[in-house]
Structure 1
Amino acid sequence: MRIIGGRWRNTRLQVPSLEGLRPTSDRVRETLFNWLMPRLPGARVLDLFAGSGALGLEAVSRGAASAQLVERDPALAAGLRGVVERLGAAGQVQVAAADALHWLQTAAPMQADIVFIDPPFAAGLWPQVFERLPRHLAADAWLYVEAPADAVPQVPAGWRLHREGGTRDVGYALYVRAAATLHDDLNATPSA
Structure 2
Amino acid sequence: MRIIAGDFRGRRLTPVGKGDAGAHLRPTTDRVRESLFNMLAGGRFGEPFEDAQVLDLFAGTGALGLEALSRGAAHVTLVENGRVGAKLIRANIALLGCGDRARMLGADATRLPAAGTPCSLVFLDPPYGKDLGARALDAAHKGGWIAPGALIVWEENAPQPAPEGFVPLDTKRYGDTTVTLLEAR
- What displacement does 1:129 show? 1.4
TM-score, normalised on structure 1? 0.83
- State whether residues 52 and 74 of structure 2, in contact with CA within 8 Å, keep that contact through their aligned partners in structure 1: yes
2:149 is the counterpart of 1:145: no
Query: Which of 136, 152, 169 matches 1:162?
Result: 169
Correspondences of 1:2-13 after superposition (within 5 Å): 2-13=2-13
Give yes or no for contact 1:130–1:155 (8 Å, CA) kept in 2.
Answer: no
Q: Secondary structure at the match of 1:162?
A: strand
Runs of 4+ in 1 over 6 A off after TM superposition: none
Q: Which residue of 1 aligns with 2:44?
A: none
Amino acid at match of 1:5: A
Matched AA of 2:31: R
Structure 2 match to 1:32: 36
The correspondence of residues 1-192 of structure 1 with structure 2, limited to 5 A, is: 1-13=1-13, 14-16=15-17, 17-19=19-21, 20-37=24-41, 38-102=47-111, 104=112, 106-134=113-141, 135-149=144-158, 152-177=159-184, 181=185
What is the deviation of 1:109? 4.3
Gaps of 5+ in 2: 42-46
Higher helix share: 1
- Supply the distance in 2 between the matched residues of 1:87 and 1:131 (Cα, whole angstroms): 31
Aligned counterparts of 1:79 and 1:146: Cα–Cα separation in 2: 20
The residue aligned with 1:186 is: none
The CA deviation string for residues 101-152 of structure 1, in whole angstroms up to 9 with x for no partner, is 12x2x24343011000101114220221132121211112000011113xx2
Deviation at 1:92, TM superposition (A): 0.3
**Contact 1:112/1:138 (8 A) holds in 2:** yes
Match of 1:185 in 2: none
Question: What percentage of residue pairs aligned between the two structures are identical?
Answer: 40
The CA deviation at 1:158 is 4.0
In 1: Cα distance, 2:162 partner to 2:127 partner: 17
Determine if contact 2:57/2:78 at 8 Å carries over to the other structure.
Answer: yes
Separation (CA, whole Å) in 1 of partners of 2:169 and 2:31? 18
Structure of greater Rg = 1
Query: After alignment, is 68-77 or 15-24 more displaced?
Result: 15-24
Q: CA deviation at 1:71?
A: 0.8
| Equivalent pairs, count | 174
TM norm structure 2: 0.86
- Kept after mapping to 1: 8 A contact 2:109/2:139: no
Structure 1: gaps of 5 or more residues: 182-192
Letter in 2 for 1:113: S
Coordinate RMSD, CA, aligned: 1.7
